[in-house]
């Protein structure tokens, strides 16, 4: 089972989306935003682009799951940052 982390700040709860946490979405006004992009890396393999939260591009990783795991680890280590709203 994957460890879940919920950050509550300024009266708002932030978490990395997981189907196991969908019940939280019913507890108030919810907004889902993309914090990163896991895509094929230009040098081969997979990369995790965290630029939506002003983070780095991680990788390349041989497997997509490795990029997903690195993405989640970085987001948790950095307090699950919120992407800037784009006008």
Q: Exposed, middle or buried by CB within 10 Å (0-12, 13-18, 19+), for 15?
A: middle
Contacts for 49 with CB less than 8 Å, ≥ 6 apart: 36, 37, 38, 39, 57
- pLDDT 10s digits, 42-62: 889 999 999 999 999 999 999
| Full-model pTM | 0.80
- pLDDT 10s digits, 9-36: 777 778 888 888 778 778 878 788 888 9
């Amino acid at each position: 089972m994957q460890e879940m982390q919920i950050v509550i700040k300024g009266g708002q709860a932030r978490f990395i989306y997981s189907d196991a946490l969908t019940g939280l979405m019913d507890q108030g006004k919810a907004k889902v935003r993309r914090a990163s992009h896991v895509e094929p890396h230009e040098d081969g393999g997979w990369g995790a682009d965290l630029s939506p939260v002003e983070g780095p591009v991680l990788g390349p990783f041989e497997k997509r799951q490795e990029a997903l795991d690195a993405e989640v680890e970085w987001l948790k280590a950095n307090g699950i940052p919120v992407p800037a709203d784009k006008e």
